[in-house]
Structure 1
Amino acid sequence: MITKAELSIPEYFDTQKVSEVWRVPYQKRAHQAKEWAVKYSIQPAATDKKQICLLIIDAQNTFCLPEFELFVGGRSGSGAVDDSLRLCKFIYRNLHSITTIAPTMDTHTAMQIFHPIFWINDAGEHPLPAATLITLEDVQQGIWKVNPAVADSIAGGNYSALQKHALHYVQKLSDDGKYPLTIWPYHSMLGGIGHALVSAVEEAIFFHSIARNSQALFEIKGGNPLTENYSVLRPEVLDGPDGVSIAEKNAKFIDKLLGFDAVIIAGQAKSHCVAWTIDDLLTEILARDVKLAKKVYLLEDCTSPVVVPGVVDFTEAADAAFLRFAGAGMNVVQSTQSIDTWPGFSWLGF
């Protein structure tokens, strides 16, 4: 049996194609994955004595490719592309150690509370995406109001209820100390190319599934029109103005993650969906057993923060969040390091 450090990267992997969209040749890759398993004596994931989950957050075209809507460039300008390259290499090198890969899929339709069409001002204009934060004061003063034309699609024509919800929503964000409501460009649109996984990442996940006989654990998030859903574990707001539930935390997936012996986290964006997911996971850990934080590993070189040059830079906020996670007992690691050398991995018995 080989050691964890001995797997190589398949010859078909083309580093120059990580920033492109293309069709994965599934049948060919499946055949190669079976050959790979034989060559390296890779056993089915069901035989793993220690269960390792790689949680990949929103590695979708919309966030990871430069020509798409919400490319996460970070300060380098090529952040998510570089992250995807390192992530693919990490998957291939550690194919025999990763039990399950869990990709999350940010999933939206046009009429959602964070898209321009949801809001309107007295001049009949929609807010500019990526440049508009809607605060509690904005809604209280009527600077931004719910677009009456969307009420039929979202609230059965009840515009007053929808406006009441909007006020409650920004109030709740303010009270809970969350980011103000950001108006984002239309992105991760269900059925669109932007919604799809980055081709190179999809290919690596598929190869892993076949080589290890392990179904990828896809998690869909973000489809509720009345709330943001940065974290895959829970929406930003769970109730409406009358206390009636509009959403709930993803208890089943939380239990699934915490059932693994180790959870490795990567994806986009470090400042938003990644940070919010980790924060929610930490909240669950602190409520159950603080020692569970030791089983969480954050691939810091496989995630980048949102940076819109001249508009906003979330780098410092993202870095501060990761420092807080490390202070709580989670492990901040690099994908280029052997997992055998990661801090605390001996605690898991690897």
Structure 2
Amino acid sequence: MNTKTITQFPIPNFFDRAKVGEVWRVPYQDRAVQAETWAKQQRILPAAKDKTRICLMAIDVQNTFCIPNYELFVGGRSGMGAVDDNIRLCEFIYRNLGVITEIAPTMDTHTAMQIFHPTFWINDNGEHPIPIATIITLDDVKQGKWKVNPAVSYSLARGNYMAIQRHALHYVQKLSDNGKYPLIIWCYHSMLGGIGHALVSAVEEAMFFHNLVRHSQTNFEIKGGNPLTENYSVLRPEVMDGSDGRPIAQKNARFIQKLLEFDAVIIAGQAKSHCVAWTIDDLLSEIMAQDPKLAKKVYLLEDCTSPVVVPGVVDFTPQADAAFQRFADAGMHLIKSTDPIQNWISI
């Protein structure tokens, strides 16, 4: 391991830990002026000069998942998981401004009529499934317990109800065949154009500051807009073909290749049990197909991610921990944001 000393920079005075769990307007122009001054004071070079290229992928660090009382707040077992995770994530970015080459936040992006939202489904009583409490299985669709809501066929299938109903059966069949989680009905979340879709203000501020200090454009990756499939992973949707065998979506080959070209990829975000685990799993599959040794360039910030826990309803902590152990067994590194970066990446 390279023992070269890497400067850990101080946390800028404008960062306020107490505001990480709140939504507010980032003062862009003020931060832009401060970023230019900060780069000069701390003698931080542009990212283009990095000899070791490091990408920080921040998965779905959005209000909908990270702000208490928002739609799908990821509290973890502590009840404040995502907020605490984002405090550590912001501080990690600020301390390591000089070595993080690029930040790639993923953005879960949805509209109302999607296969995992209540309005997509209906039962014989005209009722929609209850969010989070409802799991739709293959048997449920085969037996007609849940059917596609005929009203959505106008927008999603050009009025062809039978085609979208065939897709629904095909979809849950594929989930079952591929060993995926069964279809969970989620409450409306990450709605395009809504406040919940936006990045957490404190994290957005840290990324904006990094962008201007390092002269490295933040690389936003959008996922989840296809109404006919879930997209937990930014790298590929859960199901990529329709009932007729034709493709309805494709894996994000461009982003996969870009990630693997970095010398190191650091991953954080929400939720550890779902979008984070699914993305890492897809990245690992690509790595195994290309070169298993590439797993060693992936670092998982375990203290900057939390699993889905709904007290008294569901706790995905064991599944999340098992997934991360599997990633570690494959060669990926489980690390903490407070560890000096030179302890785990050769700079």
Q: What does residue 103 of structure 1 align with?
A: 105
Please, which of 130, 150, 153 is the counterpart of residue 151 of structure 1?
Answer: 153
Which sections of structure 2, spanning at least 5 residues, go unmatched? none
Q: What does residue 15 of structure 2 align with?
A: 13
The 5-angstrom pairing of residues 151-230 of structure 1 reads 151-230=153-232
Secondary structure of 1:263's counterpart equals strand
The 5-angstrom pairing of residues 1-350 of structure 1 reads 3-342=5-344, 345=345, 349-350=346-347
Measured in 2, the distance between the counterparts of 1:191 and 1:331 equals 36
Residue 262 of structure 1 aligns with an amino acid whose one-letter code is: A
Residue 114 of structure 1 aligns with an amino acid whose one-letter code is: F
Identity across the alignment (%): 74
Which sections of structure 1, spanning at least 5 residues, go unmatched? none
Residue 147 of structure 1 aligns with an amino acid whose one-letter code is: N
Secondary structure of 1:280's counterpart equals helix
Measured in 1, the distance between the counterparts of 2:114 and 2:162 equals 17
User: What are the Cα deviations for residues 285-344 of structure 1, in whole angstroms up to 9, with x where unaligned?
Assistant: 0000011000000000000000111111100000000000000000000001111112xx
Cα offset, 1:5, TM superposition: 3.7
User: What are the Cα deviations for residues 128-183 of structure 1, in whole angstroms up to 9, with x where unaligned?
Assistant: 00110000000000000000000001000000000000000000000000000000
Residue 260 of structure 1 aligns with an amino acid whose one-letter code is: F
Residue 82 of structure 2 aligns with an amino acid whose one-letter code is: A
Tell me if structure 2 keeps the 8 A contact 1:5–1:338.
Answer: no
Tell me if structure 1 keeps the 8 A contact 2:5–2:342.
Answer: no
Secondary structure of 1:16's counterpart equals helix
Tell me if structure 2 keeps the 8 A contact 1:86–1:301.
Answer: yes
Measured in 2, the distance between the counterparts of 1:126 and 1:246 equals 25
Measured in 1, the distance between the counterparts of 2:181 and 2:240 equals 16
Measured in 2, the distance between the counterparts of 1:227 and 1:4 equals 44
Measured in 2, the distance between the counterparts of 1:177 and 1:43 equals 46
Residue 242 of structure 1 aligns with an amino acid whose one-letter code is: D
Cα offset, 1:23, TM superposition: 0.3
Cα offset, 1:3, TM superposition: 4.5
Measured in 1, the distance between the counterparts of 2:314 and 2:23 equals 28
Measured in 1, the distance between the counterparts of 2:7 and 2:339 equals 10
User: What are the Cα deviations for residues 267-292 of structure 1, in whole angstroms up to 9, with x where unaligned?
Assistant: 00000000000000000000000110
Secondary structure of 1:245's counterpart equals coil
Tell me if structure 2 keeps the 8 A contact 1:115–1:129.
Answer: yes
User: What are the Cα deviations for residues 5-39 of structure 1, in whole angstroms up to 9, with x where unaligned?
Assistant: 43100001000000000000000001101111001
RMSD: 0.8
What is the number of residues matched between the two proteins? Answer: 344
Residue 291 of structure 2 aligns with an amino acid whose one-letter code is: D
Secondary structure of 2:106's counterpart equals strand
User: What are the Cα deviations for residues 35-57 of structure 1, in whole angstroms up to 9, with x where unaligned?
Assistant: 11001110000010110000000
TM-score normalised by L of structure 2 = 0.98
Measured in 1, the distance between the counterparts of 2:281 and 2:73 equals 23
User: What are the Cα deviations for residues 87-141 of structure 1, in whole angstroms up to 9, with x where unaligned?
Assistant: 0000000000100000000000000000000000000000000110000000000
Tell me if structure 2 keeps the 8 A contact 1:42–1:96.
Answer: yes
Measured in 2, the distance between the counterparts of 1:214 and 1:276 equals 27
Runs of 4+ in 1 over 4 A off after TM superposition: none
